[in-house]
Amino acid sequence: MSKEIDNFFRDIQNNIINNFNSLEGSKKDVYDDVWNRADGGGGRSYIIKSGKFFDNCAVNFSSISGNKLPPSALKENTKKNGKFSATGVSVISHPKNPFVPTSHFNIRIFRIFDKKDNLIDFWIGGGYDLTPYFPYQKDCIDWHNNSKEYLANFNRSLYKKFSNNCNKYFYIPHREERRGIGGIFFDNFKQYSLEKSLDLLKMTSHTYINSYMNIANKRNKCLYNKNHKNFQEYRRGRYVEFNLMYDRGTLFGLQSKGRIKSILSSLPKNVQFHYEIDKEMKKYEKRLLKYINKDWNV
């Protein structure tokens, strides 16, 4: 079963890679890195740098195991913490064009085994969110509508719950701002059988990539100038702050002694930090905050 689950996640990674490569064409720097851990497991990191479409992008698969889960991954309602397997795919895209939003996606499954390698517990998590710099109302509505429609195939109550989770999780307390316009987020989730749980993860991946590709193909046609690019790089600073200070995925990677370069591949290539911003940037930011501090639950 472990091999089947690994292949399930690898197929999802390959689908996302193929879609992102269609945006890039042939002009790109790619690191396609298959790796193994001495203490159990391995993965594949697919990194696009300095491309036609992406400043940088990471599509990572990992499958690791151990004898004790790190605290950041321990399920709140279980005291079982023995031999474990953690498998997942994570994606972060930082496009070159400031009018194309940054996107984040991840799905994962944690499994706990007894001393005879029998499965005794499991749970899933994942989701995706969108971080625009120059937002469009239609994109925001479509992003959430697509989530609502696919989750209704499982339970109509899930969208509201997962969307609220996303708003709460991707929040930067010291800025009193959300990271973006949200999406969905779920963790420690076990309401379905293993088979149906994997179906939910698969549909999450399909909805993410289809929604993002639609926005990316439209907004990449927008012309931009140096002021737009400067604002994008300034707002990327918020992304860095959240990932390094609050993100549980980053914390899990560090606590599980993961590959540092894979963990930090989520960070943007170019970022600007300013003590103060000029009037033009303030105008852009005022408009942006109206979008990211709004509840887009549809």
**Domain ranges in the chain?**
2-292
Instruction: Give me the pLDDT at residue 73, please.
Output: 54
pLDDT class for 80, splitting at 50, 70, 90? low
Query: In angstroms, rounded to a whole number, what is the distance separating the alpha carbons of residues 116 and 252?
Result: 26
Q: What is the pLDDT of residues 129-138, one digit of tens each?
A: 999 999 999 9
- Tell me the backbone φ, ψ of residue 7, rounded to 5 degrees: -65, -35
Q: Kindly tell me if the per-residue pLDDT of 1 is higher than 80.
A: no
Angle at 30 between CA 180 and CA 263, to 5 degrees: 50
Is 206 an annotated catalytic residue? Answer: no
Q: What is the pLDDT of residues 168-198, one digit of tens each?
A: 999 999 999 999 999 999 999 999 999 999 9
Considering the four listed CATH numbers 1.10.10.10, 3.40.220.10, 3.40.1500.10, 2.40.50.140, the one that applies to the domain covering 2-292 is: 3.40.1500.10
Instruction: Give me the pLDDT at residue 77, please.
Output: 46
60-74, 165-179, 182-196, 242-256 — which is least confidently predicted? 60-74
73 burial (CB, 10 Å; 0-12 / 13-18 / 19+) is buried
Give which of 205, 125, 120 is closest to 165, Cα–Cα: 125
236 burial (CB, 10 Å; 0-12 / 13-18 / 19+) is buried
Q: What is the mean pLDDT of residues 74-84?
A: 60
Instruction: Give me the pLDDT at residue 5, please.
Output: 95
Q: What is the pLDDT of residues 143-160, one digit of tens each?
A: 999 999 999 999 999 999
Q: Kindly tell me if the per-residue pLDDT of 89 is higher than 70.
A: yes
**In whole numbers, what is the pLDDT of the chain averaged over residues?**
90
Instruction: Give me the pLDDT at residue 255, please.
Output: 76
Q: Pick the catalytic residue: 94, 104, 144, 228? A: 104
Q: Kindly tell me if the per-residue pLDDT of 99 is higher than 60.
A: yes
Reported pTM: 0.92
